[in-house]
């Protein structure tokens, strides 16, 4: 009986990530199909082919990306954003989401990130974090003097974390990608690193 339980949970752990990924992908595709067809239904009527909504959605997103690359369109978009950037509660939510999206855009600053181990002098504690800022010239005064960096410390099992500003000598780069570090932090570093990879070496 114990072997049956062991086989069952081993199979469940194997199938669950795949099933959840496929389920979330299905929900996303279904939502995209419905939304796009709702937008296009006045033009195409009852005509429908499976996948047409998804293809149309991708084309619309490409068109929007092309338009917002034009300076005049960006000016109009900035004007349309005024209600979202001035209302007290909406401003906080919209600004946070927009900053997050801009960070991962092709022109964002994700390439400046690096995974580091934070060690405070006199303490044996080690914390894995991400350097998110090295230049503080555009921030208000009040920060401690000296060469410092902003380090984001992600939290496990939830979206959130802390940002600390520490001296540069407190951090040491490690050979790990940002995606791998975020994924490991999300599950509290319970997953073993892939075979043949090292996460303890210093990055070049």
Residue carrying the six token digits 């979202």? 84
Residues 21 and 70 reside in one and the same domain = yes
36 vs 100: CA distance, rounded Å: 25
Sign of the alpha-carbon dihedral angle for 117, 118, 121, 123: negative
Query: Rounded to whole angstroms, how far apart are CA atoms 37 and 46?
Result: 10
Q: Within a domain: residue 138? A: yes
* Structural domain containing residue 138: 113-186
Residue 201 lies in a domain: no
Residue 13 located in a structural domain: yes
Residue 108 lies in a domain: no
Q: Tell me, yes or no, whether 96 lies in a domain.
A: no
> CA separation (Å) from 78 to 55, 65, 68, 74, 89?
28, 15, 10, 6, 19
In the chain, how many domains are there? 2
Residues 6 and 71 in one domain: yes
Q: What is the rounded distance in angstroms from the CA atom of residue 127 to the CA atom of residue 162?
A: 12
Residue that is last in its domain, among 62, 80, 98: 80
Against a cut of 0.75, is the pTM above it? Answer: no
Is residue 200 a part of any domain in this protein?
Answer: no
Question: What are the pLDDT tens digits along the chain (204 aa)?
Answer: 777 877 787 788 788 878 888 898 888 888 877 877 787 777 777 777 777 777 777 787 788 888 878 888 877 877 777 777 777 777 777 776 776 666 555 555 555 578 899 999 988 899 899 888 888 777 777 777 778 888 988 887 666 788 899 998 999 998 888 778 877 887 777 765 555 444 444 443
Burial class for 171, CB neighbours closer than 10 Å (0-12, 13-18, 19+): buried
Clarify whether residues 64 and 122 are in a common domain.
no
Does one domain contain both 134 and 75?
Answer: no
| 68 and 11 part of one domain | yes
Domain boundary among 80, 99, 124: 80
């Amino acid at each position: 009986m114990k072997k049956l339980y062991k086989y069952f949970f081993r199979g469940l752990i194997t199938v669950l990530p795949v099933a959840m990924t496929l389920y979330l992908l299905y929900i996303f595709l279904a939502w995209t199909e419905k939304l796009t067809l709702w937008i296009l239904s006045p033009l195409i009527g009852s005509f429908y082919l499976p996948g047409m909504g998804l293809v149309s959605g991708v084309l619309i997103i490409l068109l929007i990306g092309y338009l917002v690359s034009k300076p005049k369109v960006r000016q109009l978009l900035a004007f349309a954003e005024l209600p979202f950037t001035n209302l007290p509660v909406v401003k906080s939510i919209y600004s946070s989401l927009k900053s997050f999206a801009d960070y991962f855009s092709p022109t964002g600053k994700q390439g400046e990130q690096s995974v580091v181990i934070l060690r405070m002098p006199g303490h044996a504690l080690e914390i894995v974090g991400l350097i998110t800022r090295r230049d503080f010239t555009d921030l208000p005064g009040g920060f401690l003097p000296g060469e410092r960096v902003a380090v984001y410390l992600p939290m496990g099992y939830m979206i959130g974390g802390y940002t600390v500003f520490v001296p540069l000598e407190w951090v040491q780069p490690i050979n790990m990608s940002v995606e791998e570090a975020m994924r490991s932090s999300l599950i509290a570093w319970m997953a073993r690193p892939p075979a043949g990879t090292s996460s303890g070496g210093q990055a070049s």
